[in-house]
Amino acid sequence: MNKRKGSLFIITGPSGAGKGSVLSRVLPSLENVFLSVSATTRKPRPGEEDGVNYYFISRERFDEMVERGELLEHAEYVGNCYGTPEGPVNRRLEDGQDVILEIEVQGALIVKEKRPDAVLVFIVPPSFDILERRLRNRGTEAEEVVEKRLQKARAECAHMDDYDFIVVNDLLDDAVRDLSAIITAERCRSSKNQIKLV
C-alpha cells in the first residue's frame, strides 16, 4: 500500500496576533506533526534557542543558503531575513508527517505557488487596537520596531483573503479549537486517505 504523504500547513498572522500561543496549545495535542524551524538573520530574543525557535545565522550564511537553493521560500521582514530550509520539510512530508510552517505573507504566497495543495491559515487579532496593546505589552521590541511591526500588520491583513482559512484569536480557547478543526478536517480529506475497506 502507498504510504500517505503528509500535508503542508502554513500559518500566518501579524506580530501580536498570537500565533505562538495558539500553536503551543495545538501542537502537543496532535500526533505526527513537525513544526519547521526557520533560518533568520534576526538576533535571538531572551529565552530563544538556536535550533529550537530559529537557526540564528549571519547574513552571509543566509545568502549562501539562498544561492544554493536550500530554502523553500524566503522573505525580508522589518529589516531581517527569514527562510524555510526545504530539506527537512520534504523529508517529513515524504515520511507521512504533517508539516507546519509559521511564516509571513510573502513567503506563504510563494509556497502556495510552488505547492498548491498547501493549506493556508491566517490568524488575526480581533482588532488593530488589541494587536497594538499585545505588541506593547510584550515589551520585547524597541518603540521604533513596534511601529514598523504595526504598519506591517495592516499590510499583511490586506492579504487575508488569499488564505484558505481565517482564525480570529479573540479567546485563545476558541482559536485553538478552530485551528485544530482545520488540521483535523484536512487529515480526513478523502484524497489524503488510502483506506481500503475489506
Query: Which stretches of the chain bind ligand 5GP, using CB under 6 A?
Result: 15, 38, 42, 73, 75, 77, 82-84, 102-104, 106-107
Q: How many whole angstroms separate alpha carbon 186 and alpha carbon 190?
A: 9
Closest distance between ligand 5GP and the C-beta of residue 56, in Å?
11
Nearest residue to ligand 5GP by CB is 107
Closest distance between ligand 5GP and the C-beta of residue 189, in Å?
25
Cell numbers standing for residue 98: 504533517
DSSP class of residue 36 equals: P
Nearer to ligand 5GP, 59 or 189 (CB): 59
Closest distance between ligand 5GP and the C-beta of residue 152, in Å?
8
Nearer to ligand 5GP, 70 or 192 (CB): 70
- What is the tally of helices (H) and strands (E) in the chain? 7, 9
Cell numbers standing for residue 174: 476558541
Report how far apart, in Å, the C-alpha atoms of 29 and of each of 166, 176, 184 are.
20, 10, 11
Nearer to ligand 5GP, 2 or 137 (CB): 137
Nearer to ligand 5GP, 148 or 192 (CB): 148
Closest distance between ligand 5GP and the C-beta of residue 117, in Å?
19
- Identify the H or E element spanning 185: helix 172-188
154 backbone dihedrals φ, ψ, rounded to 5°:
-65, -45
Report the DSSP beta bridge partners of residue 123: 167
Nearer to ligand 5GP, 82 or 163 (CB): 82
Closest distance between ligand 5GP and the C-beta of residue 111, in Å?
9
Nearer to ligand 5GP, 138 or 189 (CB): 138
Closest distance between ligand 5GP and the C-beta of residue 102, in Å?
5
2 backbone dihedrals φ, ψ, rounded to 5°:
-65, 140
Q: Which residues of 77-87 are buried (b: 16+ CB within 10 A; e: fewer)?
A: beeebbbbbbe
Three-class DSSP category at 123: strand
